[in-house]
């Protein structure tokens, strides 16, 4: 009997362990769900590279690419790319409810589906792309604005308004109030969309409106730290120069990169840039956390109410950043180099890019753990 009495606690522990094992197993295999807007082939390549290079280190990541059926991109090509490359972690979802300038910033036909997908997301990314139609923030359209895919803009702006609310309707209750720590990242156009979606405005052309320059040669004379894309492309289309530009950014002392990611305001990370529009009046809830070297162009915005909402005017996602064999030139007479070499030889540029993705991936995993 004494032997049996000694075995009883052991048996109880074993039974408890067996009962907890399925919960433990679920916690190890539970999907972390990322929603991305604009699921093009380029977006898929960028996400592939971020995963393969360990920048987005989430083994059980599942990504849903969402888009509106009236967008101009041929997403069947992206679906084919996903199939042919075995991207079983990526799926697509098309939205078809009516959307237009008249109903972007209000409850509309998209609302039920947007609410469902946001509630089932552990992170959201808005990627780069073409100019936003200025009419949506109440401006006339400059001859230098290029409107290529308005329904993509309408769809993404409405999604952002649903997430964050905005000056357009101060009484609107944004969906992020249900999950204030959900990470949302806007990249280039995505940063501009975060701003416009919450009631902000844009400068339609940096060089003419900010610097008063209307000729390429005058823009070149400004120097690379004031180029936000590569002006040499306009003069030498035959040389296959990179359309991007590298310049350093100024990190503001009370901003996200210093307070959250641990950088110093004296650090000068180099970033990959390609845009001709810029944030002007800030949207509701946003503060500036990084600027161009001269302080004239907003390079990053951070939400003051929702701590994991960040908009960056540069491209830390581009798969070419990690290709050490890529050879490119920015100017006609310079020696070929790679984006990787530029980052690696200008500290803390590489660490800066890595920490952005460490933060975003970590915030997604933390969001999942709270669910």
pLDDT digits 0-9 by tens, 272-321: 999 999 999 999 999 999 999 999 999 999 999 999 999 999 999 999 99
Q: What pLDDT digit, counting tens, does each position of 87-98 carry?
A: 999 999 999 999
Q: Is residue 21 part of a domain?
A: no
Q: Report the CATH number that the domain containing residue 46 is assigned in CATH.
A: 3.40.50.880
Residue 13 pLDDT > 80: no
Residue 75 pLDDT > 50: yes
Q: What pLDDT digit, counting tens, does each position of 195-248 carry?
A: 999 999 999 999 999 999 999 999 999 999 999 999 999 999 999 999 999 999
- Relative to beta strand 184-187, strand 270-273 is unpaired
Q: Is residue 231 part of a domain?
A: no
**pLDDT for the residue 371:** 67
Residue 323 pLDDT > 60: yes
Measured distance CA(218)–CA(50) in Å, rounded = 37
**pLDDT for the residue 100:** 96
Instruction: Select the more confidently predicted residue: 280 or 26.
Output: 280
Asked if residue 329 lies in contact with residue 241, where contact means CB atoms within 8 angstroms, the answer is yes
Predicted TM-score (pTM) above 0.85: yes
Poorest-pLDDT segment among 28-42, 157-171, 262-276, 326-340: 28-42
Q: What pLDDT digit, counting tens, does each position of 289-302 carry?
A: 999 999 999 999 99
Q: Which residues contact 30 (CB under 8 A, 6 or more apart)?
A: 60, 368
Q: What pLDDT digit, counting tens, does each position of 116-132 carry?
A: 999 999 999 999 999 99
Average of pLDDT values for 332-336? 94
**pLDDT for the residue 5:** 54
**pLDDT for the residue 102:** 96
**pLDDT for the residue 24:** 40
Enclosing domain of residue 133 = 29-205+276-323+352-370
Q: Is residue 102 part of a domain?
A: yes
Report DSSP letters for 189-210, one per residue: HHHHHHHHHTT--EES-HHHHT
Q: Is residue 248 part of a domain?
A: no
For 155, left (φ over 0), alpha (ψ -120 to 50), or beta?
alpha
Q: Is residue 65 part of a domain?
A: yes
- Residue among 352, 359, 124 nearest 248 (CA): 352
Q: Is residue 127 part of a domain?
A: yes
Average of pLDDT values for 70-86? 98
Q: Is residue 97 part of a domain?
A: yes
Burial category of 81 from C-beta neighbours within 10 Å (exposed 0-12, middle 13-18, buried 19 and up): middle
Domain count, the chain: 1
Residue 16 pLDDT > 50: no
Q: Is residue 285 part of a domain?
A: yes
**pLDDT for the residue 370:** 78
């Amino acid at each position: 009997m004494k032997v049996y009495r000694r075995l009883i606690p052991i048996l109880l522990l074993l039974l408890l362990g067996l009962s907890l094992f399925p919960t433990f197993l679920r916690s190890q295999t539970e999907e972390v769900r990322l929603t991305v807007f604009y699921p093009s082939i380029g977006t898929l390549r960028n996400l592939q590279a971020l995963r393969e290079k360990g920048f987005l280190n989430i083994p059980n990541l599942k990504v849903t690419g969402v888009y509106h059926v009236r967008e101009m991109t041929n997403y069947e090509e992206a679906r084919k790319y996903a199939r042919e490359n075995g991207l079983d972690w990526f799926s697509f979802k098309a939205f078809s409810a009516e959307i237009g300038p008249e109903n972007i910033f209000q409850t509309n036909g998209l609302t039920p589906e947007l609410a469902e997908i946001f509630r089932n997301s552990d992170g959201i990314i808005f990627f780069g792309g073409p100019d936003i139609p200025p009419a949506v923030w109440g401006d006339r359209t400059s001859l230098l604005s290029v409107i290529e895919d308005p329904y993509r803009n309408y769809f993404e702006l409405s999604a952002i308004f649903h997430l964050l609310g905005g000056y357009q309707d101060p009484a609107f209750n944004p969906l992020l109030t249900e999950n204030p720590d959900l990470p949302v990242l806007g990249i280039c156009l995505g940063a501009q969309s975060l701003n416009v979606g919450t009631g902000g405005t844009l400068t339609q052309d940096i060089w003419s409106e900010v610097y008063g320059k209307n000729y390429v040669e005058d823009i070149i004379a400004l120097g690379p730290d004031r180029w936000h894309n590569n002006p040499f492309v306009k003069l030498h289309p035959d040389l296959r120069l990179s359309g991007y530009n590298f310049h350093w950014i100024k990190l503001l002392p009370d901003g996200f990169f210093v307070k959250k990611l641990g950088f110093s305001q004296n650090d000068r990370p180099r970033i990959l840039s390609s845009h001709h529009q810029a944030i002007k009046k800030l949207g509701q809830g946003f503060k500036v956390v990084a600027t161009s070297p001269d302080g004239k162009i907003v390079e990053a915005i951070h939400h003051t109410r929702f701590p994991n909402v960040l908009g960056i005017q540069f491209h830390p996602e581009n798969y070419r950043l990690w290709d050490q064999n890529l050879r490119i030139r920015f100017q006609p007479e310079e020696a070929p180099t790679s984006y990787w070499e530029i980052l690696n030889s200008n500290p803390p540029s590489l660490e800066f890019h890595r920490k952005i993705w460490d933060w975003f991936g970590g915030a997604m995993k933390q969001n999942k753990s709270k669910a």
